[in-house]
Amino acid sequence: MGPPLGFLNKTWFSGVGSQAVGGIYSFDSVENAQHYCTHFFPAVSRQFGVAQTTRLFDATIVKDASLDMGSPHFGTRPIRKPGAFVYTEVQVNIPFDKAPWRDRNPVLKQQKGLISKLWLSGLHTNTLGGVDAFDTIENALAFAIDDFPKTTAKMNAAYYTRVFDANATEAASRGLNSPYYL
């Protein structure tokens, strides 16, 4: 089986302190990403006999906010390779054009060890989140455990967050053209 229709790249994720495996995929269109999530992933889940989770995000609407944060997903050359990734998603319904990213980005830029951020806006849900690249697992954990919950508390919102070891998946991510390792 060849690459899925419209596939651009994948960055593999390997959970810190968990057995979680996954990643973030980029596709050339929402339609191709939807097809992958509705056909490929369910078949793999059945084959392995496990439940799965997929989420779709609108890349076009987050471009400016992500470029401001040095996201390699939009062509910014990485300043260094990541040691960890933090995935975040806040259970809100805020269209991204109304999201306070212009206020949030300067605060995030002060976060110890943050290399870049890819903003995420849930397709059909308007959830807010991101994939944050950090220099070390320690700095990623400090953000995910100490800082991010304070932000979501101010929003009075539930959240989902995971920390991933970027070193463990570097070779696999490079093999799938991850923009973090160019």
In whole angstroms, give the CA distance from residue 22 to residue 116. 19
What is the reported pLDDT for 116? Answer: 98
pLDDT on residue 20:
87
Token reading at 146: 């100490």
Is the pTM for the entire model greater than 0.85?
yes
Q: What is the mean pLDDT of each run of 10 residues along the chain (182 residues)?
A: 84 93 95 94 90 92 98 95 98 97 97 98 97 98 97 96 97 97 82
Helix, strand, coil % over all residues of the chain, rounded to 5: 40, 25, 35
Per-residue pLDDT at 182: 72
